[in-house]
């Protein structure tokens, strides 16, 4: 049921977004670029709206957003319940599951950070 609701929500957003891009291309371009400014994507010298802007609200965009949102359904953690065994990617690009890193009865410590 949750997947159906997510499908309906994402599909509605994509249809509305695509319609707005067709009816008001300049306004949508400004809106998408403003979103890029919030994420500081525009500071990248190789950033170009023409490279990625038109992909918004495409069929591939729809499939990608659905895939991400459906995967996140599996990632929910609840107090007192077992931790979700979500996929993680190492620095070398290998995909593992989070609980693959547990050893015996030792606690698993996750350290989140950023490297730029």
Of the candidates 44, 43, 35, which has an alpha carbon nearest to the alpha carbon of residue 17?
35
Q: Any residues with CB less than 8 A from the CB of 98 and at least 6 apart, and which?
A: 83, 84, 85, 86, 87, 88, 108
Helix (H) or strand (E) holding 58: none
- Over residues 19-54, the pLDDT tens digits come to 999 999 999 888 888 887 777 777 777 777 887 788
Q: Closest Cα to residue 14, out of 34, 30, 28?
A: 28
pTM: 0.57
Q: Tell me: the pLDDT tens digits for 97-112?
A: 888 888 888 888 878 7
């Amino acid at each position: 049921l949750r997947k159906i609701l997510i499908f309906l929500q994402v599909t509605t957003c994509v249809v509305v977004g695509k319609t707005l891009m067709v009816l008001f291309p300049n306004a949508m371009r400004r809106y998408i670029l403003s979103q890029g400014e919030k994420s500081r994507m525009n500071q990248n010298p190789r950033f170009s709206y023409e490279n990625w802007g038109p992909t918004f609200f495409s069929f591939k965009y729809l499939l990608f957003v659905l895939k991400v949102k459906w995967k996140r359904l599996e990632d929910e953690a609840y107090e007192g319940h077992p931790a979700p065994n979500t996929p993680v990617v190492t620095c070398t690009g290998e995909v593992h599951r989070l609980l693959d890193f547990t050893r015996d009865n030792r606690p698993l410590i996750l350290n989140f950070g950023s490297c730029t």
